[in-house]
C-alpha cells in the first residue's frame, strides 16, 4: 500500500466524526410472516482457500493485491493480503469476538487501519443471523437481523435462493453495503463492499473457485 493511500485513508477516517448518515429505511418491500428463525451467509463456509483479486479505492487513491481467506474452524478465519508482487501486507485471524494480527507491514500498523480491517471483515465473514423480521419484494426475500445496536438486512434471490446483498447498519445508520455475485451458496464469484459514511470501496473478484 502506497504511503499516499495510507495518509488519505487516515484523513478520511478523521472526517468520520463530522459526517452524519441518514437513517436507513427499507423501501419497496412488504412485511411477511416470519418462518425462518436463523439465516446464514455460507460464502466462506468451505474448508478450501478462497482467493480473490482485491481492489481498494480510498477517495482518489487505488491499491490492488491478492486476498486469501481460509476457514480455520467453525468460528475463525485467517485472512492474508499480499501485493501484486507477492509481498505480504497483513495477515490476521478473525472471528465474531476475537482478532489476532500475525503480521503487518509498518505502514499499515496503525490502530485506525487495523480497526477498519477488523470491522469490515467481521461483518463480511459473519455466518449466522437470528431473524427478527421478514420482508419481500419482487426479486428478494429479505430478513432483518438485530444484534445489539447493529442491524443486518439480508437479501436472498427468490429465483435461486442465493444471498446477493447484506446491508449493515448501526444505530439505524447505514454503514456498509455488501453485494455478492454467485453461482453456488458456498462461494461468491465477486464481492463489493461499499462504505456509506466515507469513500472507501473494496472489490473482490475470484481467482480460484472451490468445488
Does position 14 have pLDDT exceeding 70, yes or no?
Answer: no
In which domain, by residue range, is 36 found?
3-208
Distance of CA 122 to the CA centre of its chain: 7
- What does the pLDDT look like over 129-153, one tens digit per residue? 999 999 999 999 999 999 988 999 9
pLDDT band, very low/low/confident/very high, at 110 (cuts 50, 70, 90): confident
Give the pLDDT mean for 160-186.
94
- What does the pLDDT look like over 30-77, one tens digit per residue? 999 988 899 999 999 999 999 999 998 877 777 789 999 999 999 999
Q: What is the pLDDT, as a whole number, of residue 36?
A: 87
- What does the pLDDT look like over 158-172, one tens digit per residue? 999 999 999 999 988
Does position 116 have pLDDT exceeding 60, yes or no?
Answer: yes
Q: What is the pLDDT, as a whole number, of residue 2?
A: 52
pTM, rounded to two decimals = 0.87
What is the average pLDDT score of the chain? 87
Distance in Å from the first CA to the final CA of the chain:
32
Count of helices and strands (H, E) across the chain: 2, 15
Q: What is the pLDDT, as a whole number, of residue 4?
A: 54
The cell for 87 is 509481498
Q: What is the pLDDT, as a whole number, of residue 17?
A: 43
DSSP string, 73-122: SSS-EEEEEEETTS-EEEEEEE-SS-EEEEEE-GGG--HHHHHHHHHHHH
CATH label of the domain that carries residue 81? 2.50.20
Number of domains in the chain: 1
Amino acid at each position: 500500500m502506497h504511503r499516499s493511500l495510507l495518509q488519505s485513508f487516515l484523513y478520511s477516517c478523521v472526517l468520520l466524526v463530522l459526517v452524519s448518515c441518514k437513517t436507513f429505511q427499507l423501501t419497496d418491500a412488504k412485511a411477511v410472516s416470519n418462518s425462518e428463525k436463523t439465516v446464514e451467509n455460507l460464502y466462506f463456509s468451505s474448508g478450501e482457500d478462497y482467493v480473490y483479486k482485491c481492489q481498494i479505492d480510498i477517495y482518489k487513491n487505488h491499491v490492488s493485491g491478492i486476498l486469501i481467506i481460509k476457514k480455520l474452524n467453525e468460528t475463525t478465519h485467517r485472512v492474508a493480503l499480499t501485493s501484486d508482487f507477492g509481498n505480504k501486507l497483513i495477515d490476521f485471524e478473525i472471528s465474531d469476538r476475537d482478532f489476532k494480527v500475525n503480521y503487518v507491514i509498518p505502514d499499515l500498523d496503525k490502530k485506525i487501519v487495523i480497526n477498519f480491517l477488523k470491522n469490515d471483515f467481521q461483518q463480511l465473514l459473519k455466518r449466522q443471523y437470528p431473524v427478527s423480521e421478514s420482508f419481500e419484494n419482487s426479486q428478494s426475500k429479505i430478513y432483518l437481523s438485530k444484534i445489539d445496536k447493529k442491524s443486518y438486512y439480508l437479501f436472498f434471490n427468490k429465483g435461486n435462493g442465493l444471498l446477493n446483498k447484506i446491508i449493515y447498519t448501526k444505530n439505524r445508520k447505514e454503514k456498509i453495503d455488501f453485494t455478492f455475485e454467485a453461482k453456488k451458496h458456498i462461494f461468491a464469484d465477486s464481492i463489493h463492499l461499499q462504505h456509506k459514511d466515507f469513500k472507501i470501496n473494496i472489490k473482490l473478484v475470484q481467482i480460484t473457485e472451490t468445488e
